[in-house]
Amino acid sequence: MTDRAFAVVRAGALTTVQDRGRFGHAHLGVPRSGALDPYASGLVNRLVGNPVDAAVLETTVNGCAVRPRCAVTVAVGGAPCPVTVDGRPVAWGAAVRVPAGAVLEVGAAVRGLRSYAAFAGGVAAEPVLGSRSTDLLSGLGPAPLTDGAVLPLGPEPSRKAPGCDTMPWPGPPDELVLHVRLGPRDDWFTRSALRAFATRAYRVSPASNRIGLRTEGPALERAVAGELPSEGMVLGAVQVPPDGRPVVFLADHPTTGGYPVVAVVRERDLAAAAQAVPGTPVRFIPAR
């Protein structure tokens, strides 16, 4: 029987298994998790004939390298990067056949932060609460990849991959524009703070991660002193900690928090946040 699995040759800075995430468990304190750039993970899955919710590898900054134990079709997308098989360049953003025993190298991101590698059949790590996603906050799901680890692959998909060589890919943002709806705690901030939030430029902080996109820029002045009792937090919530710099909650965010939420980002804008490198300008655009 064919050994449908791959061994990790180089884990990279942070490579995790991700699918669409864990839905319906926030009341238990379990975040959604899942791919930070769901559009990219869905596209690479389509290229190899998988359902869009199949588990993929999400790399961060400097990619990873794996050695499949069986011949498998792979597609790498998301942040543009060099891709090689046994040292020979192959296409990024397209389906590639990797022979058994060959080394697939996902190189460092040329633009953006996170690349995605889909394998025909999907990464078949053990699901937890209905998802194979690695959750860095709670520790649920498979551990981040380490050198020498072996991960299983699912069976070859029954449906054929789409009849195309490549797909259009959105580029990583030169400026991150986040459309927001103010509230529920915008009344905890002064009018001048809300004006600064809506009109001043922020930048992506190097301290950003899968839990939240931290920003650098003007501090938001509070109109109400003290702290809130912990309340529920949603994906895209813009929480303002004591330093006054907004933090946009991403896939591994906590499900409760006591700092006021000044606004919530429109969910379809969050994929671009996954690819915004430190220093990228950020603008918050309130709904009219």
Per residue in 84-123, pLDDT tens?
Answer: 999 999 999 999 999 999 999 999 999 999 999 999 999 9
Per residue in 52-80, pLDDT tens?
Answer: 999 999 999 999 999 999 999 999 999 99
Do residues 80 and 37 make contact, with C-beta atoms less than 8 angstroms apart?
A: no
| Pairwise CA distance, residues 64 & 84, whole Å | 11
Percentages helix, strand, coil for the chain (3-state, rounded to 5) are 10, 30, 60
Give the burial string for 236-258 (b: 16+ CB within 10 Å, else e).
bbbbbeeeebbbbbbbbbbbebe
Where would I find the H helices in the chain?
38-47, 191-199, 270-274
Say which range, 151-160, 179-188, 224-233, has the weakest mean pLDDT: 151-160
Vertex 282, ends 279 and 258: CA angle to 5°?
Answer: 100
Per residue in 180-190, pLDDT tens?
Answer: 999 999 999 99
Domain range summary for the chain, segments of one domain joined by +: 5-152, 176-286
Annotation: CATH topology of 176-286: Cyclophilin (2.40.100)
Do residues 59 and 123 make contact, with C-beta atoms less than 8 angstroms apart?
A: no
Closest CA to 13 of 125, 108, 118: 108
CA 237 distance to own-chain centroid: 16
Do residues 18 and 134 make contact, with C-beta atoms less than 8 angstroms apart?
A: yes
Predicted TM-score (pTM) of the model is 0.95
Do residues 228 and 220 make contact, with C-beta atoms less than 8 angstroms apart?
A: no
